[in-house]
């Protein structure tokens, strides 16, 4: 009985423990991601500026603490998106519904994102943004749902019409805030499995990064060693101490037969030279 009550207490304590969520905002540049984040923070949306790279904000949604990753959407920056999928509990994909010319690019970026192993199956909110603009009327949330084929995805998803900026001086679009509340509540229902997945994916990704760093370190060390050995070989080849001059006689080691012979020959050659000199002097005078 005591054990049963203790397990029930631990279960309730774990269930009531404060949860924190991490949500990533994706979308092409100019889609309104940073404006959405400003709306969540309750800041003036007209002051939002485009994100280049990455920014992180802490907000409260549906009485839960949420860390928001706002990732830049320029084509050259999208390659960093996959570096953050492992850490998140949910995804927000923002689309500029007023710009139909970029919809093929939107679809390609969306499909690449949601098919990634670390993002696949996580709760998803799609925002058909900028509905306050006249051009957006032709691309509603229902149209965008069909265009992106959301119903084929094996995850909880919701697509909403919104205008994160709202009209000047007005409050942010309620549909966007309700969509965010839905996303956090959905992630909360799946929190145990999502958190376990996040922890495992982060561990695996960390090991991959450490392995890459070690492989890079070994490559650099190997290259440094090869350059060092090459430098030593070139130095040995060019060193004068290792070479003999072509005009110099071979060096004779002391005590060698050649050295003894040279010592014995030197006086004899000197005596012969002196005798020849004396024999030639009278002839020279007589001449």
* Domain edges within the chain: 19-193
Is 143 marked within a binding site?
A: no
pLDDT in tens, 163-222: 887 665 455 678 999 999 999 999 999 999 999 999 999 999 999 989 999 999 999 999
Task: Identify the pLDDT of residue 267.
Answer: 54
* CATH class given for the domain over 19-193: alpha beta
**Stronger pLDDT, 14 or 110, i.e. the higher one:** 110
**Stronger pLDDT, 90 or 15, i.e. the higher one:** 90
Task: Identify the pLDDT of residue 274.
Answer: 53
Is 29 marked within a binding site?
A: yes
Is 49 marked within a binding site?
A: no
Is 90 marked within a binding site?
A: no
Task: Identify the pLDDT of residue 72.
Answer: 93
Kindly write down the DSSP assignment for every residue of the chain, as one continuous string: -HHHHHHHHHHHHHHHS--EEEEEEE--TTSSHHHHHHHHHT--GGG----SSEEEEEEEETTEEEEEEEE--STTTGGGGGGTGGG-SEEEEEEETT-GGGHHHHHHHHHHHHTSTTTTTS-EEEEEE-TTSGGGGGS-HHHHHHHTTGGGSSS-EEEEE--SS-STTSPPPHHHHHHHHHHHHHHHHTHHHHHHHHHHHHHHHHHHHHHHHHHHHHHHHHHHHHHHHHHHHHHHHH-GGG---TTSPPP--TTSHHHHHHHHHHHHHHHHHHHHHHHHHHHHHH-
Is 166 marked within a binding site?
A: no
Q: Is the pLDDT of residue 136 over 80?
A: no
Is 33 marked within a binding site?
A: yes
Task: Identify the pLDDT of residue 247.
Answer: 55
Is 130 marked within a binding site?
A: yes
Rounded mean pLDDT of the chain?
A: 81
């Amino acid at each position: 009985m005591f054990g049963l009550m203790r397990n029930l207490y631990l279960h309730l304590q774990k269930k009531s423990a404060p949860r924190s969520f991490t949500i990533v905002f994706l979308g092409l540049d100019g889609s309104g991601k940073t404006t959405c984040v400003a709306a969540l923070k309750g800041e003036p949306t007209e002051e939002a500026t485009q994100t280049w790279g990455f920014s992180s904000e802490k907000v409260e949604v549906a009485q839960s603490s949420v860390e928001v990753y706002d990732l830049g959407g320029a084509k050259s920056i999208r390659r960093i998106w996959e570096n953050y999928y492992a850490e998140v509990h949910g995804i927000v994909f923002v689309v500029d519904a007023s710009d139909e010319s970029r919809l093929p690019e939107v679809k390609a970026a969306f499909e690449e994102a949601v098919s990634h192993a670390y993002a696949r199956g996580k709760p998803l909110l799609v925002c058909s943004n900028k509905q306050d603009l006249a051009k957006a009327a032709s691309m509603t949330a229902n149209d965008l749902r069909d265009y992106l084929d959301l119903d084929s995805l094996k995850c909880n998803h919701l697509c909403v019409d919104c205008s994160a900026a709202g009209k000047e001086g007005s409050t942010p679009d309620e549909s966007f805030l309700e969509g965010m509340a839905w996303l956090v509540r959905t992630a909360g229902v799946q929190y145990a499995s999502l958190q376990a997945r996040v922890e495992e994916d982060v561990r695996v990704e960390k090991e991959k990064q450490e392995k890459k760093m070690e492989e890079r370190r070994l490559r650099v060390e190997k290259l440094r060693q090869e350059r060092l050995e090459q430098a030593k070989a070139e130095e040995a080849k060019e060193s004068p101490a290792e070479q003999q001059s072509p005009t110099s006689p071979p060096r004779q080691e002391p005590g060698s037969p050649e050295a003894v012979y040279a010592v014995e020959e030197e006086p004899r050659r000197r005596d012969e030279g002196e005798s020849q000199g004396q024999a030639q002097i009278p002839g020279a005078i007589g001449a």
